[in-house]
Amino acid sequence: MKKIILYALAALALNSTAYADVIKVGVVGPFSGPFALQGKNFKAGIDAYMALNGKKVGSDTIEIIYRDIPTADPAQSKALAQELIVKEKVKYLAGFYFTPDAMAATPILKQGNVPMVIMNAATSAIMKTSPLVVRTSFTTWQTSTPIAKVAFDAGVKKVISVVSDYGPGIDAENAFKAGFTKAGGEVVESIRIPLATNDFSPIMQRIKDSGAQGVFAFLPSGPTTLGFVKAYNDNGLKTAGIKFFAPGDLTQESDLPALGDAALGIQTTFHYAVSHDSPENKTFVDAAAKAIGNKAELSFPAVGAYDGMHVIYKMIEATGGKQDAEKAVEAVKGLSWTSPRGPVSIDPESRHITQNIYLREVAKGTDGTYINKETKTFEKQGDPGLAATK
Amino acid sequence: MQTVFSIAIDALAYGMVLFVISIGLSVTMGLMRVVNLAHGAFAMIGGYIASYVARDLGMGYAAAVIAAVVITIVIAIPIERLLYRRIYGQPELTQVLMTIGITFCIIGIANYVMGPTLKTIPLAGPLQGSADLGFRAISIHRLFAIICGLVVALGLWLVIEKTSFGVKLRASVDNAAMAAALGVRTEFVYAVSFAVAVGLAAFGGVVGAELLPVEPYYALRYMVTFLVVVSVGGAGSIPGALIACLVLGAIDTTGRYLMPEFGEFFFYLAVIAIICVFPRGFAGRVT
């Protein structure tokens, strides 16, 4: 009899360990190299979420496995995703800073039975490549469309668009053009400049010569944006009254100290500002600043990662820790919650995040640091990009 | 006509900034025969030091420039003694491997110590703002960069061509063994020229920081441009580097104004054409 009880207990013990699994989440992002800061923000967002919500969903423990991909490298991204699925046996893939990296990994999701939660990559088309993709960041279309209305309402009827010649830049150009012509304005010229541009003075001259009343710009953040904004001031465009409009990628918080006074007054539209005023955001910023070590380095990828973790936790809850990609994705369709950036939901059709887009202006905060001050809200914006490319 | 002037001014300013940063590389490559891929890294160190001195310590632009040059040289001296001395006269591949390794180390250290964000160098009061040239505005800092370029070019040319140190340097470069036999302390000459080259890199890093902002990947990001300037100008030639910078600056600026969507097409097309006609660069010497 004793023996039987012992066996039963042993069986029970084995059984329960089988349920209390370690669920691995593979995160692919730029953790070294020129974009390491963005990867650092991914990690800060994830760490913040796990610090606030615990490392366990039910009885399962969540383990994050990071894989580094310094620059956009589709082949490497696919290899890493494969390795994570096959060798590390991850049940969820997440992260992905660059669109090509995300695109390269989507074809293996179905076979691997793994959903992917995109925490940054911002091209509309990614969602079409696999039904197992969910995105918690934004698209360039989503953030660039409202600024067209802002520009038109500010009395600017003629705009010149200047974008860096790469995917997101072209997306931004198209989104702005579509929004602005719809509002009744005219885009007098569209200039695409190479990514490796150091000297923007000739472009500024071009903008002046075009006779536009405003300029819409999209460039990668960092040195390029800094050079562009400096040239905009130095060449007298600001004093000439030519207005500057851009999506918020340009004025991300980590670049603001370097941009300094040169950026004051620049209007951008974006889904998240670190200075966003809400209790949820305060909790998030405190936790994420602790995770990243220096609050000045915190910017938008952190909130994408934070909400990405929320979606993954919900997926794990819905599937009870079992590997079922379809059920997991199905469970979060229509999911809505209050994110640090405001109320958000997952659009059931596109599986992309529906969120508020804010109009912000670079301003000096009360403590002397530069912030993106939110001045207006465009509520519940979906992604106009998918419809436009159909 | 206005547009032409405007482009010419931009071209001159851009060319001069390129010149100030690249001339140190021209010295190491032409006179010391070292393919120094860590040149951009030294320029970056200069930029970081200047940023730290001017922004974090609040000591003003002039102090920042001097501190950047001096401290970068102090950092470079042990590197020269321990690492560079081994690769003088070695095949180019060895030099490339060594210096690119140094570059990656410096990038890693800069990233760790100074963080991944952009660093700016606050300008002195008189250098801020823009000057009105009548037909357009140009930032005063650019005029300052143009003057710096001219001063550096003239100073270097005088030192190399007109002083006894210049004679010893050229002698050591042409035939180190013979120069040493004649009593020239070649090691000392090399160390000094290396220090000058590094100092120029740091100076260029600071003066050019408005166009090429300082961040950890500075060291690699602009290295190709610097190398192009040196090869088009002819390694070791100061007038050559000056002409190369002005020509390339003009082509780049004009291309960017008229046809930005072609990107750097015209820049590199010009480089190919020039190298076809002048395989050693504008003023390269036969070695």
φ, ψ of residue A159 in degrees (nearest 5): -130, 145
Q: Chain A: nearest CA to B141, how far in angstroms?
A: 9
> Residue B263, SS3?
coil
Residue B239 to residue B154: CA distance in whole angstroms: 9
Mutate to test the interface with A, among B5, B118, B128 (most CBs of A within 10 A): B118
Angle CA B269–B263–A270, to nearest 5? 165
**CB-CB neighbors (< 8 A) of A294 in chain B:** 115
**CB-CB neighbors (< 8 A) of B111 in chain A:** 36
The CB density around residue A107, as the number of other CB atoms within 10 Å, is 13
pLDDT of residue B258: 84
pLDDT < 70 positions in chain A:
1-20, 388-390
pLDDT of residue A18: 46
Angle CA A44–A47–A51, to nearest 5? 135
Q: Are the Cβ atoms of B10 and A199 closer than 8 angstroms? A: yes
Check if A107 contacts B (Cβ < 8 Å): no
> Residue A164, SS3?
strand
Q: Are the Cβ atoms of A258 and B210 closer than 8 angstroms? A: no
Which residue type is seen at B34?
V
Residue A165 corresponds to which tokens in the numbers above?
Answer: 């010649």
Report whether A41 contacts A305 (CB < 8 A).
Answer: yes
> Residue A10, SS3?
helix
DSSP B129-176: SEEE-SSSEEEHHHHHHHHHHHHHHHHHHHHHHHSHHHHHHHHHHH-H
Place of tokens 């390029």: A224
Mark out the alpha helices in chain B (DSSP H runs). 2-26, 39-51, 61-79, 85-87, 92-114, 140-162, 164-174, 176-181, 186-207, 218-221, 223-233, 238-258, 265-277
DSSP A254-300: GGHHHHGGGGTT-EEEES--TT--SHHHHHHHHHHHHHHS-GGG--T
CATH topology of domain B2-277: ABC transporter involved in vitamin B12 uptake, BtuC (1.10.3470)
Residue B278 to residue B275: CA distance in whole angstroms: 5
Question: Per residue in B193-208, pLDDT tens?
Answer: 899 999 999 999 999 8
Question: Per residue in B173-199, pLDDT tens?
Answer: 788 888 889 988 988 888 888 999 999
Where is average pLDDT lowest: A268-272, B107-111, B122-126, B209-213?
Answer: B122-126
| Per-residue confidence band for B139, with pLDDT thresholds at 50, 70 and 90 | confident
Q: Which of A165, A208, A222 sits opposite B263 (nearest CB)?
A: A165
φ, ψ of residue A350 in degrees (nearest 5): -90, -15
Q: Are the Cβ atoms of B130 and A223 closer than 8 angstroms? A: no
User: Is residue B266 over pLDDT 90?
Assistant: no
The CB density around residue A168, as the number of other CB atoms within 10 Å, is 23
pLDDT of residue A84: 95
pLDDT of residue A389: 60
Residue A211 to residue A189: CA distance in whole angstroms: 10
CB pairs under 8 A between A and B: 104
**pTM, full prediction:** 0.80
Check if A277 contacts B (Cβ < 8 Å): no
The CB density around residue A54, as the number of other CB atoms within 10 Å, is 11
User: Is residue B136 over pLDDT 80?
Assistant: no
pLDDT of residue B29: 87
The CB density around residue A324, as the number of other CB atoms within 10 Å, is 17
Going along chain A from its start, the domains and CATH numbers come out as: 20-138+277-351 (3.40.50.2300), 141-270+357-389 (3.40.50.2300)
**CB-CB neighbors (< 8 A) of A34 in chain B:** 216-217, 221
CA-based nearest residue to A254, from B51, B117, B210: B117
For A293, nearest residue in chain B (alpha carbons): B115
For B251, nearest residue in chain A (alpha carbons): A202
**CB-CB neighbors (< 8 A) of B260 in chain A:** 191-194, 202-203, 206
Interface of B with A (CB under 8 A): 3, 6-7, 10, 13-14, 111, 115-120, 130, 136-139, 141-142, 210-213, 215-217, 221-222, 225, 252-254, 256-257, 260-261, 263-264
Element (H, E) at A332: helix A325-332
Is residue A56 packed enough to be buried (19+ CB in 10 Å), middle (13-18) or exposed (0-12)?
middle
pLDDT of residue B285: 65
Q: Which of A165, A236, A254 sits opposite B117 (nearest CB)?
A: A254
φ, ψ of residue A359 in degrees (nearest 5): -90, 130
Q: Chain B: nearest CA to A12, how far in angstroms?
A: 50
Residue B139 to residue A235: CA distance in whole angstroms: 7
Q: Chain B: nearest CA to A9, how far in angstroms?
A: 53
Q: Are the Cβ atoms of B256 and A192 closer than 8 angstroms? A: no
Each domain of chain B, given as residue ranges in start order, spans 2-277
Q: Are the Cβ atoms of A199 and B7 closer than 8 angstroms? A: no
Check if A296 contacts B (Cβ < 8 Å): yes
pLDDT of residue A117: 96
CA dihedral A106, A108, A114, A119 (to 10 degrees): -30
pLDDT of residue A17: 45
Question: Per residue in B205-224, pLDDT tens?
Answer: 999 888 888 888 888 888 98
Q: Chain A: nearest CA to B138, how far in angstroms?
A: 6
φ, ψ of residue A247 in degrees (nearest 5): -75, 160
pLDDT of residue A20: 67
Q: Which of A34, A209, A227 sits opposite B213 (nearest CB)?
A: A227
